[in-house]
Amino acid sequence: PSTVMPEHLLVKVAYSTASSPTPIEAASLHASGVRSSGVEDLTRILAEWCKETNSVSAAGRTSNDNVKMTFPEGDNAFTPAQQWHLAEYKPNKKTGVASWESSYTRFVDGEHPQTIAINSKSGKPIQVNTVIGHILEGLALGRPVPLARLANVSTPPNQSEWDELANVETSNAEMDVVKSKVPMAEYLRPIMGDMFIDTPYDERDEEDVLKYRNWCHLLKWYQSLRRADYIPVFGE
């Protein structure tokens, strides 16, 4: 009933859940204002729906490699020695603050990206991947980011995926993600193939689109860590 979960909140939750790379968590719903005693059941239903509709699904995974990127235990944040040389802080003319900064600050202060997406500063829901992008933008500008916490919501490349992305960069000097801003489609061309990249979006195979979206997600991690001069560690 609307007294438990207002319609406007339901719309926000549905929008953010559909875009979340990981299933919605009960804690995120509680923090977003859901006061239903059946929140656990709601979480389960949303997780099943997310599994069916999520763009970064199991079908889009690029590798079954179990050698995952690992991070030091605890909530310690990684701080780049300096900001990426091509990163530029662009404040909003009205607020004087960059569009990504609210999401970044709330995450660093302990909020879950799902909660931030549902209850964004503007009052309108945004995608969880947008929040993740905001956090990684902070990293590019030299801000500290608790990477272990972020990895719980947004899966970074495993070792074989990292190596495949690194191979693109080392095989072509024009793909150096530290020295320049490389278009994602061109960077992923060697991985996805010319046929996919050159095919109009509405004519692409759905399974290949899922794979491409996942590679874009992994590439965002790769670019961000490379530009922050972060050396990843992998382990079981």
φ, ψ of residue 78 in degrees (nearest 5): -90, 130
Check residue 55 and give its pLDDT: 45
Give the separation between CA 185 and CA 148, rounded to whole angstroms.
28
Question: Half-sphere exposure of 82 toward its Cβ, with a 13 Å CA cutoff?
Answer: 4
Which has the closest alpha carbon to 190: 208, 169, 207, 211? 169
Residues 6+ apart with CB under 8 A from 6: none
**Residue 81 and residue 233 in contact, taking contact as beta carbons nearer than 8 Å:** no
Reduced to 3 DSSP states, what percent helix, strand and coil does the chain have, rounded to the nearest 5?
50, 5, 45
Q: Coil, strand, or helix at residue 68?
A: strand
User: In this structure, are residues 159 and 67 in contact, taking their beta carbons and an 8 Å threshold?
Assistant: yes
Closest CA to 227 of 167, 171, 181: 181
Residue 140: its H or E element = helix 128-140
List the beta bridge partners of residue 70.
233
Residue 104 one-letter amino acid? Y
Supply the pLDDT for residue 48.
72
What amino acid is encoded at 148 in this protein?
A
pLDDT at res. 57: 45
Give yes or no for a contact between 21 and 114, defined as CB atoms under 8 angstroms apart: no
CA distance 233 to 49: 33
204 vs 129: CA distance, rounded Å: 22
Distance CA 164, CA 67 (A): 14
Q: What is the pTM for the complete model shown?
A: 0.81
Residue 121: predicted pLDDT: 81
Instruction: Please work out, in degrees rounded to the nearest 5, the angle formed at the alpha carbon of residue 34 by the alpha carbons of 109 and 148.
Output: 30
- What does the pLDDT profile of the chain (236 residues) look like in tens digits? 444 566 566 567 766 666 667 767 777 776 766 666 667 777 776 667 666 655 444 444 555 567 999 998 776 899 999 999 999 999 999 889 999 999 999 999 999 998 899 888 887 888 889 999 999 999 999 999 999 999 999 999 999 999 999 999 999 999 999 999 999 999 999 999 999 999 999 999 999 999 999 999 999 999 999 999 999 999 96
Residue 59 is predicted with a pLDDT of 44
